[in-house]
């Protein structure tokens, strides 16, 4: 599911070139032009784009995706309150994450996308981007899993026909671990909770 408006996708690609031309005295089978699946990441943020829907962007530290959280019960009172208030949140890291199934199609992980759906269901999916060369050109959300939030912020898994068909249960459980780390930062570090470069809130600009 693409998140960007059609007219907001960049088309021109930047490139690297040699600063000094060095003569080549013998043939070397070395590709001089990198294929599009190589990403030369320049730390671009999704805030540069206009989205199809109202989406709140929250920058999170990389440990939220790479760290571990051992608590079994998914209880997210702060995240639940945010989702009920703004409906859609993209949690973004300042990284590109290699995904074996999508890297040949030039898609990379960039965080999590959480959305309130009909029937009071919360969809949690992977936030992915297209990044050919040096350009961040697309943002989309993969299919995910669905949950219902209880009054105490505890999330209960709800099976849906729209569930991700990947069959990798570990990956989707890992999404909950990431949300638990985000909730931990939010609860225990007030400074992080208010900063746009970590867990701060940055509204996405909308098209007129």
Q: How confident is the model at residue 121 (pLDDT cuts 50, 70, 90)?
A: very high
What are the pLDDT digits (tens) for 144-157? 999 999 888 889 99
Domain boundaries, position 165 = 36-203
Tokens coding 49: 């784009």
> What is the pLDDT confidence band of residue 158, given thresholds at 50, 70 and 90?
very high
| Cβ-contact 93, 65 below 8 angstroms | yes
**C-alpha of 105 from chain center:** 17
Residue 168 lies in a domain: yes
CB-based contacts of 18: which residues, under 8 Å, 6+ apart?
Answer: none
**Residue 15 lies inside a defined structural domain of this protein:** no
Residue 140 pLDDT: 86
pLDDT of 22 strictly over 70: no
Asked if the structure places residue 67 within a domain, the reply is yes
Residue 115 has pLDDT above 90, yes or no: yes
The number of distinct structural domains making up the chain is 1
Instruction: Say whether pLDDT at 89 is over 70.
Output: yes
Position 86 in a domain:
yes
> Residue 28 falls within a domain, yes or no?
no
Whether 11 is covered by a domain: the verdict is: no
Residue 1 belongs to a domain: no
Q: What is the pLDDT of residues 164-202, one digit of tens each?
A: 988 888 888 889 999 999 988 877 765 444 443 333 444
Q: What is the DSSP string of the chain?
A: -B-B-GGG----------SS-----S-----SS--TT-B------GGGS-BSS--EEEE--THHHHS-----S-B-HHHHHHHHHHSEEEEEEEEEE--TTTGGGTEEEEEEEEEEEGGGEEEEEEEEEE--BT---EEEE---EEEEE-TTSBEEEE--TTS--S--HHHHHHHHHHHHHHHHHHHH-HHHHT-TTTT-EEEPP---
Query: What global pTM score does this model have?
Result: 0.74
Tell me whether residue 115 is in a domain: yes
Nearest to 148 by CA among 110, 117, 176, 126: 117
The pLDDT, as a whole number, for residue 137 is 82
């Amino acid at each position: 599911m693409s998140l960007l408006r059609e007219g907001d996708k960049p088309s021109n690609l930047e490139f690297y070139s040699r600063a000094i031309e060095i003569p080549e005295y013998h043939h070397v089978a070395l590709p001089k032009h990198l294929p599009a699946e190589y990403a030369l990441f320049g730390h671009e943020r999704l805030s540069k784009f206009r989205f199809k829907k109202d989406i709140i962007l929250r920058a999170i530290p990389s440990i939220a995706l790479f760290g571990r959280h051992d608590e079994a019960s998914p209880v997210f009172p702060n995240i639940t309150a945010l989702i009920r208030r703004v409906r859609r949140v993209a949690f973004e890291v300042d990284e590109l994450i290699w995904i074996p199934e999508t890297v040949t199609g030039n898609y990379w992980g960039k965080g999590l996308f959480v959305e309130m759906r009909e029937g009071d269901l919360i969809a949690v999916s992977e936030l992915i981007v297209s990044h050919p060369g040096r350009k961040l050109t697309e943002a989309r959300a993969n299919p995910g899993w669905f949950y219902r939030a209880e009054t105490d912020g505890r999330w209960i898994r709800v099976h849906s026909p729209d569930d991700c068909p990947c069959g990798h249960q570990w990956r989707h459980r890992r999404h909950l671990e990431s949300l638990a780390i985000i909730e931990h930062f939010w609860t225990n570090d007030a400074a992080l909770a208010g900063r746009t470069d970590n867990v701060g809130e940055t509204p996405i600009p909308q098209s007129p």
